[in-house]
Structure 1
Amino acid sequence: MSKKIIQTDKAPAPIGPYSQAVLAGNLLFVSGQVALTPGTGELVTQDIASETHQVMHNIKAILNEAGLDFQHVVKTSIFLSDMGLFGAVNEIYGSYFSGAYPARETMAVKTLPKNVNVEITVTAMVGA
C-alpha cells in the first residue's frame, strides 16, 4: 500500500513530530486540528464558536489539499476540554456536513494541546 504525506500552508504547520495528514491507499487520516491560524500560528480563542470554526477551516484546507471535502469524511473524533461545550461545538460541526454525517465519538479530556477547548481529527475516503 502506498503512503503519501499531505501538507498545505493553508492549515497550521504541525506543532510536533507528525504530518497534517497521511493518505494511505484510499483513506486520508487527518491529524487532530486545533484553532491555530495558518501562517501566524496564533490561537483563535475569542469564544467556542470562533474556535470551532477555525478548527473546521483547518480541516477543510487539508481535505482540499488532498482533493477531498467534508462529503468524503467517514469518521471523526472530537475532543473537548469540557462536555458543557458539546452543544455549541456540535451545532457548528454539523453545519459543515450536508446530511450524510460521518461516524463519530466525542469525549471530554483533561487537557488539550496549547490548552485549547476543542480538537477534531477526521478520516476521509477517496471516492466516497
Structure 2
Amino acid sequence: MKKEIVEVPGFEMPKLPDGRPLVPLSPATKAGGFVYVSGLPPINPDSGEMVVGDIQVQTRQSLENVKRVLEAAGSSMENVLKVHVYCSNSGYFAQVNEVYREYFDENAPARTFITVGSWMMPFDIEIDCVAIENSV
C-alpha cells in the first residue's frame, strides 16, 4: 500500500526560506482506499484569512473546508467514517451540533468531540476526519 499526498488549492502550506513547509503536514493523505484529512480550522482557503465569527460561523467554515479537501481527494461528506471535533469550549457543544447536523444527519459518521486549549491563531474549532474514496 502506497501513501499519496493530496494537494488542495487554497490549502498550500507557507514555505520556510529553505523551501520546506512552515508546518510539516498535508491537507490530506490517501492510502488503501481511505482518505485522512488533517485538522482544518475556519480559514478561508481563497483569501488565506481566518474566518471571524461566532462558533457556528467557524464550524460551518471548518466543515466547508473538510468538504473541499475530501472532494479534492476523490471522496465526499457521504463517505466520512470518523470525525474528530476539537473545540475550545465544551459550552459550544449544542451550537456546533446545529451546524454539524446540516452536513451529517442521517447515517452520521462516528464522532468524538474534544475540548482543547487555545491555538496559535484566534479560532475556536478544528475538524479532521477519515473517509473512504468514492471509488471504493
* Number of aligned residues: 127
Q: Do 2:88 and 2:118's aligned partners in 1 also have CA atoms closer than 8 Å? A: yes
Gaps of 5+ in 1: none
Instruction: Give the CA deviation at 1:98.
Output: 4.6
Runs of 4+ in 1 over 4 A off after TM superposition: none
Distance 2:129 2:113 in 1: 12
Residue 23, structure 1, aligned to residue 30, structure 2: yes
TM-score of the aligned structures, taking structure 1 as reference length: 0.91
Counting only pairs closer than 5 Å after superposition, residues 22-101 of structure 1 correspond to structure 2 as 22-101=29-108
Instruction: Give the CA deviation at 1:50.
Output: 1.2
Counterpart of 2:6? 6
Distance 1:78 1:112 in 2: 14
Higher CA-based Rg: 2
TM-score of the aligned structures, taking structure 2 as reference length: 0.86
Sequence identity percentage? 33
Gaps of 5+ in 2: 14-21
